[in-house]
Amino acid sequence: MQMKTEVLIVGGGATGVGIARDLSLRGIPSLLIEKGDFTSGASGRNHGLLHSGARYAVSDPEAATECISENRILKQIAPHCLEETGGLFVSLPEDGLEFRDLFLTSCEKVDIPATLLSRDEALNLEPELNPDFLSAVEVPDGSIDPFSLVVENARDAEKHGARFLLHTEVRSIQVDKGKILGVRAKDLLQGEEHIIDTRYLINATGAWANQFLNLAGLRLDMALSKGSMIITNQRITQRVINRCRRPSDGDILVPNGLVSILGTTSIHLDDVENFEVTRSEVSLLIKEISRMVPVIKGTRFIRTYAGIRPLVLPEEKEDDRAISRGFALIDHEKRDGLKNLITVTGGKLMTYRLMAEKTSDLLCQKMGIQASCSTHRTPLSGKGKPFELKERLREIRPALGKGAEIICDCEIVEREELEESIKKGDLKDLQDILHRTRLAKGTCQGGFCIYRLLGVLHDLKMSRGDPNSILKGFLEERWKGIRPILWGTTLKEEELIESIYKGIFNLEP
């Protein structure tokens, strides 16, 4: 298909979608294309932390200031996508109190509320804390649901004229006389080729930024760093628990709905596509975090996952084109003489809105348009929807009494609800469905419900492709996340899943 747009944004993570919304509120139409689903990259693979900024107060006051400011904004514009859990910074005997004192004064300097709690107060709030702790400081950390946040941004952007093309990958970029004319892209599910003409191109591909620029004959030096996380099968603490020391591996436990997430590691990577969580990372995370919260040692884990932090190397960051130290915003007109290309990468989920604002400002300047940002004061449309699972459960409970067909027993997803979301959304593959329902997120990690989902799709005559290949693909993906944590009860569960699919159903690779 031949398409035309004023602005083409590539990348459906928080940054790209945030830009689409920001521009749409300024009255500038855009088209966003993404090779997978929303949040397929780092936006969907982090620990879902609503930073207070306290983590950076000592090491990077500028980033801390950005975080606390965005923290306040997000609580106003997207309360339905986050939970204001609060957080603690805990010092253990081996940490001493020197860093804690520096931490308190640093927080004060950047205006992050940090309250030193008494021992009893802290244990009262979080009874699972290691009783040997020396000190606990309370800060306004929270948790955030990145997928909801991005989908809400997309929905609002669409309402204001933005368009989205998912599962579509840019294959080449047409450059002529220092100017980008457009791109050729391919629909990865249908196979259709698109030629898209655009006046401006924004590269918001995160960890793929360099690969993307290669298509235009440019390059960007980046360091890719893998961060691994583990999900528990129940919520361990009510608040975010941070280790009060200089940032290092295994220093945070983030509650998220009914589960908690252990994070994280930092390992240099060369390949942006193929990476897995290793056994040694799992051991390290458990060892470190159980120092703060001892019950972690005996806790049942349900999955591991990893994401890539796209870090731009210092020579790029210190360049005058970098507006903030937290992320890189590159005007390729100045850098490479390519008039209508902007790259934005680095940064973190927490500052996606700010990154979108700065990128849109730069674009407006290049376009010669006077239009200012309003995303910091315009709430997202779904505001008012319940976020907490408890409330969602309350919503579906009346249906349970009627003998509803429960497709996922772990997360209580009933068939009617599932069929509704399948029918209403423009869902193209299994990942799309899993992103938009709670299927495969519970204890059995889809061991039972994916088979059932394929059955329901068949009943609805909406099944495409060979269901058993889809099932096998899913089981292989699931295996990657589960293999590093197989012992205890999880191993028992896995014997069950293997006995079903390799045993009863005789599925073979």
- Asked if 496 touches other proteins (CB under 8 A), the answer is yes
| CB atoms near residue 368 (< 10 Å) | 6
What is the amino acid identity at position 306?
A: A
**Are the C-beta atoms of residues 57 and 270 closer than 8 Å to each other?**
no
Residue 428 beta carbon to other proteins: minimum distance, rounded to whole angstroms: 19
**Mind giving me the DSSP string for 160-200?**
TT-EEE-SEEEEEEEEETTEEEEEEEEETTT--EEEEEEEE
- 158 CB-contact burial (10 Å; exposed 0-12 / middle 13-18 / buried 19+): middle
C-alpha–C-alpha distance, residues 282 and 481, integer Å: 11
Tokens 């948790």 sit on residue: 143
Residue 250 beta carbon to other proteins: minimum distance, rounded to whole angstroms: 15
**Which is closer to other proteins, CB of 2 or CB of 506?**
506
Residue 130 beta carbon to other proteins: minimum distance, rounded to whole angstroms: 20
Tokens, residue 441: 């997120």
**Which is closer to other proteins, CB of 86 or CB of 467?**
467
- Asked if 507 touches other proteins (CB under 8 A), the answer is yes
C-alpha–C-alpha distance, residues 254 and 240, integer Å: 5
Single residue of 407, 412, 427, 450 touching other proteins by CB under 8 A: 407
- 225 CB-contact burial (10 Å; exposed 0-12 / middle 13-18 / buried 19+): middle
| Cα angle for residues 145, 150, 152 (degrees, 5° grid) | 95
Give the binding-site size for other proteins (rule: CB under 8 A): 48
Single residue of 75, 235, 428, 472 touching other proteins by CB under 8 A: 472
**Which is closer to other proteins, CB of 389 or CB of 486?**
486
Question: What stretch of H or E contains 431?
Answer: helix 430-436
C-alpha–C-alpha distance, residues 141 and 88, integer Å: 8
Residue 438 beta carbon to other proteins: minimum distance, rounded to whole angstroms: 16
- Asked if 503 touches other proteins (CB under 8 A), the answer is yes
Single residue of 151, 406, 433, 470 touching other proteins by CB under 8 A: 406
**Which is closer to other proteins, CB of 144 or CB of 433?**
433
**Which is closer to other proteins, CB of 25 or CB of 286?**
286
Q: What is the footprint of other proteins within residues 286-305 (CB under 8 A)?
A: 286
Give start and end residues of each alpha helix (H) in 8-97: 14-25, 61-77
**Are the C-beta atoms of residues 95 and 103 closer than 8 Å to each other?**
no
**Mind giving me the DSSP string for 316-381?**
HHTSTT--SSSEEEEEHHHHHS-TTEEEEEE--GGGHHHHHHHHHHHHHHHHT------TTTS--T
- Asked if 504 touches other proteins (CB under 8 A), the answer is yes
- The residue range among 59-67, 141-149, 198-206, 454-462 that interacts with other proteins, by the rule CB under 8 A, is 454-462
Single residue of 176, 402, 424, 426 touching other proteins by CB under 8 A: 402
**Which is closer to other proteins, CB of 145 or CB of 493?**
493
Single residue of 271, 398, 403, 426 touching other proteins by CB under 8 A: 403
- Asked if 440 touches other proteins (CB under 8 A), the answer is no
**Which is closer to other proteins, CB of 9 or CB of 418?**
418
Residue 271 beta carbon to other proteins: minimum distance, rounded to whole angstroms: 16
**Which is closer to other proteins, CB of 368 or CB of 509?**
509
- Asked if 486 touches other proteins (CB under 8 A), the answer is yes
C-alpha–C-alpha distance, residues 19 and 5, integer Å: 15
**Which is closer to other proteins, CB of 377 or CB of 504?**
504
Residues pairing with 307 in the sheet: 227
| φ/ψ (deg, to 5) at 250 | 65, 45
Single residue of 147, 208, 212, 448 touching other proteins by CB under 8 A: 448
Instruction: Sketch the per residue contact string, 257 through 286, with other proteins: x for CB under 8 A, - otherwise.
Output: ----------------------x---x--x
Binding site for other proteins (CB under 8 A): 279, 283, 286, 401-407, 415, 448, 451-452, 454-456, 458-459, 463, 467-468, 471-472, 475-476, 478-479, 483, 486-488, 491-492, 495-496, 498-509
